[in-house]
Amino acid sequence: MKLTINIEGEAAERKIKALLDKLGVEYSIDKDSQSYKWWEDQLLVQELHERSQRLKSGQDVGVTFDEVKRRLNSK
């Protein structure tokens, strides 16, 4: 399993590395990767806004936590 964490700043990086070391987690650091600033992605922001509006209006009723648990347990 691969976990990606976007870290801004050396102090935050040191704290994250210390935590991962304490937990005994193997990790690698890719200094060349760029953070994905989802809030600047206009298509994504528009999609999130539209989904939010459908939920607020009742057009989309969503899924209850009990339904999520039922679906997961049935697998």
State pLDDT tens for residues 24-44.
988 888 877 777 888 999 999
Query: How many domains are there within the chain?
Result: 1
| In-domain check, residue 3 | no
- pLDDT for the residue 23: 93
Residue 2 belongs to some domain of the structure: no
pLDDT at 66: 95
pTM: 0.52
Whether 21 is in a domain gets the answer yes
User: Which two three-digit tokens encode residue 8?
Assistant: 């801004």
Question: Could you tell me if residue 17 is inside a domain?
Answer: yes
Token pair for residue 1? 């399993």
* 63 vs 55: CA distance, rounded Å: 10
With beta carbons less than 8 A apart as the criterion, state whether 6 and 36 touch.
yes
Domain that holds residue 43: 10-29+38-73
Report the range of poorest mean pLDDT among 7-16, 40-49, 62-71.
7-16
Higher-pLDDT residue of 8, 54: 54
Amino acid at residue number 5: I
Whether pLDDT at 1 is above 70: no
